[in-house]
Amino acid sequence: MKLSMNLAMKHRILFAILMSLVLTFFMSAWVTFLNVGLIEGFLDYWMHAWVLAWPAAGVISFISGPGIHRFAHYLAKTEQS
């Protein structure tokens, strides 16, 4: 049995995965740096933080994305008035 997924849902899932990957990758590096500095083992601390943050951010992005997208459209329309 082949599962099919419409293009909009595929885009939503891929966008949530990729956006959360990029944001958590850099934000976890920044926050780890602020918390511990460039110490020995920095990479281990950073990767640990990133592995914990990415799944949570992915789920949050997937769930909240449509509402935030609608709100952004609303704000953009309000600015034109």
Strand, helix or coil at 31? helix
The rounded Cα 2 to chain-centroid distance in angstroms is: 29
- 73/77 Cα distance (integer angstroms): 6
pLDDT values of the chain reduced to their tens digit, one per residue, 81 residues: 455 678 888 999 999 999 999 999 999 999 999 999 999 999 999 999 999 999 999 999 999 999 999 999 999 988 676
- 8/64 Cα distance (integer angstroms): 16
Strand, helix or coil at 41? coil
Confidence at residue 8, expressed as pLDDT on a 0 to 100 scale: 86
Confidence at residue 2, expressed as pLDDT on a 0 to 100 scale: 57
**Tokens 């419409």 found at:** 6
**Residue 28 and residue 46 in contact, taking contact as beta carbons nearer than 8 Å:** yes
**Residue 12 and residue 65 in contact, taking contact as beta carbons nearer than 8 Å:** yes
